[in-house]
Homo-oligomer: A and B are copies of this chain.
Amino acid sequence: MMFDQELYIQRRKGLISKFSSGMLLLLGNIENPINFEHNTYSFRQDSNFLYYIGIKSPKLAAIFDIDQGETILFGDEMTIDDIVWMGQQQTLKEKAFLSGIHQVYPFDLLGTYIQQRQKLKSVIHFLPPYQSHNKLLLQQVLHTPFTELEPSIPFIQAVVAQRSIKSIEEIAELEKAVNVAVDMHRLAIQMTKPGLHEFEISNAMQHFAQDQGMSYSYPPIVTKHGEILHNHMQYHRIHDGDLLLNDSGVETSLGYASDLTRTFPVGNRFTPLQEEMYAIVLHAFKTAEQALTAGITFKEIHLKACEALVEGLIQVGFMKGNAQDAVANHAHALFFQCGLGHMLGLDVHDMEDLGEQYVGYTKSEPKDTQTFGIKSLRLGRKLEAGFVLTVEPGIYIIPELTQLWQQKGLHIEFINYDLLTKHLDFGGIRIEDNYLIQEKGFQRLGKYLEREIHELYQLKDKS
């Protein structure tokens, strides 16, 4: 479950070549306790560690020592007690060899090593820690309170530059992840029927993915309340007339993620209004898809999709006025509160641990962190060939938000509150696929998953 040695060696060479001195410190993850130390969540290696080292074992760290020209893995071999409890496994030295690393030191030497090199004025670079365990570890090995730790921006930028451009091997993995997710989504569409609970669908999908040797790449959203953007409540019983929104993807054994969404009727057909609204989202989706290519900013595509949504909402009567003006004034954000998509790779929001401002934006095109709607767009920068990303427009009618805007009299020139307040229970619709950006145009990753209304109906009829 690793790529070929050569790939890791090349990735490390590429990274190291950006630095003329110092040390780069990469921390792996640990097995995190659930309710006591020895009852742990399933282990997930840190994605940067996976990318440069590839070893999926807990409690490892690596130092790329530029000054010394050395790559050192810090970690411990199993003791006889470990073998009794957990079984004989590949030794750490063997695993290191598969990654092309020949120096392995005990984990406890990490701090000592750093301090000795620091005495010789070697600067240490590290990435932003997101797990508290690694905040504590950095505090210890760097003798600095964790509130004063300063992650290295050059290190972040170098990693983002490399990980943003997916290699052939990575694209093959991502397609594997999409293909299993496509089958999983078809299972969901076909098993969904009135009387089930939402959780029964997500449990069946998880079972399916796990039997393919994959796991969910994020907690799935399987809900009749698609208007709740990150809804993890799945206790509702679903009925004829409800929409079901299914946002779920899987992770391959090498750690690559897929992220797909379909929205479909619980019964055999959409209601007339659901069908109209679905057609609007699908049109916005295709508008965005067709615009994908290297050279354009994702923010432009996002705004194109917003305009397409507003045009449709004007036709249905929920909005009014000029679509371009409405988008320029952020009035669409009442229906589309979030962003059009995000980078995808070893993380479902790829490299989000390194900071959105470095991954999705550039210094010259910084992120708008204030304006409702656009502040939730994780990716705004100019696209490059090799980027992999999601496209996921949607329409969400959120009662609490609608009432708040109405009370404040927000955008009354663009929003038809009279009609809208008659449909506060509409719910939400989202469509999402995964794409590779090419020099000219794009490639949709993986197998085609039904998205046209008649295709969804056919799937339902077959079940």
Q: A218 CA to B34 CA in the complex, in Å?
A: 9
| With A206-B207, A211-B200, A229-B85: A44-B34 Cβ-Cβ less than 8 Å | yes
Q: A346 CA to B35 CA in the complex, in Å?
A: 9
| With A37-B352, A207-B204, A347-B35: A132-B130 Cβ-Cβ less than 8 Å | no
The quantity of this chain's copies bound in the complex is 2
Q: A155 CA to B219 CA in the complex, in Å?
A: 36
The answer to whether the Cβ of A106 comes within 8 Å of any Cβ in the partner chain is no
Q: How far is the CB of A105 from chain B (nearest CB, A)?
A: 23
Selected contact of A337 from candidates B36, B84, B132, CB within 8 Å: B84
Q: How far is the CB of A40 from chain B (nearest CB, A)?
A: 7
Q: A401 CA to B337 CA in the complex, in Å?
A: 60
Write out, one digit per residue, whether chain A residues 249-279 have a CB within 8 A of any chain B CB (1) or not (0).
Answer: 0000000000000000000000000000000
Q: Which residue of B lies closest to A253 (CB)?
A: B235
Q: Are B349 and A36 in contact (CB under 8 A)?
A: yes
Q: Are B83 and A400 in contact (CB under 8 A)?
A: yes
Write out, one digit per residue, whether chain A residues 26-66 have a CB within 8 A of any chain B CB (1) or not (0).
Answer: 00010011111111111010110000000000000000000
Number of A interface residues at 8 Å Cβ cutoff, please give it: 58
Q: Are B398 and A84 in contact (CB under 8 A)?
A: yes
Q: A392 CA to B458 CA in the complex, in Å?
A: 53
Q: A33 CA to B131 CA in the complex, in Å?
A: 6
Selected contact of A136 from candidates B29, B132, B347, B349, CB within 8 Å: B132
Write out, one digit per residue, whether chain A residues 3-34 have a CB within 8 A of any chain B CB (1) or not (0).
Answer: 00000000000000000000000000100111
The answer to whether the Cβ of A225 comes within 8 Å of any Cβ in the partner chain is yes
Most buried by B among A39, A47, A232, A404: A39
Note all chain B residues with C-beta closer than 8 A to A80.
400-401, 404
Q: Are B352 and A38 in contact (CB under 8 A)?
A: yes
Q: A233 CA to B132 CA in the complex, in Å?
A: 27
Give 29 pairs: A residue, B residue, CB < 8 Å, sorted on A: A29-B35, A32-B132, A34-B41, A35-B44, A35-B346, A36-B347, A38-B349, A39-B218, A39-B348, A39-B349, A39-B352, A40-B219, A80-B400, A83-B398, A84-B229, A84-B337, A86-B231, A87-B228, A87-B231, A87-B233, A131-B132, A132-B132, A132-B133, A136-B146, A199-B210, A199-B211, A199-B213, A206-B207, A206-B210
If A35-B347, A36-B353, A200-B211 are given as contacts, then 14 extra A-B residue pairs at C-beta distance below 8 Å, sorted by A number, are A35-B346, A36-B352, A38-B352, A83-B400, A84-B228, A84-B398, A84-B401, A87-B225, A87-B228, A87-B231, A132-B132, A199-B211, A206-B207, A206-B210
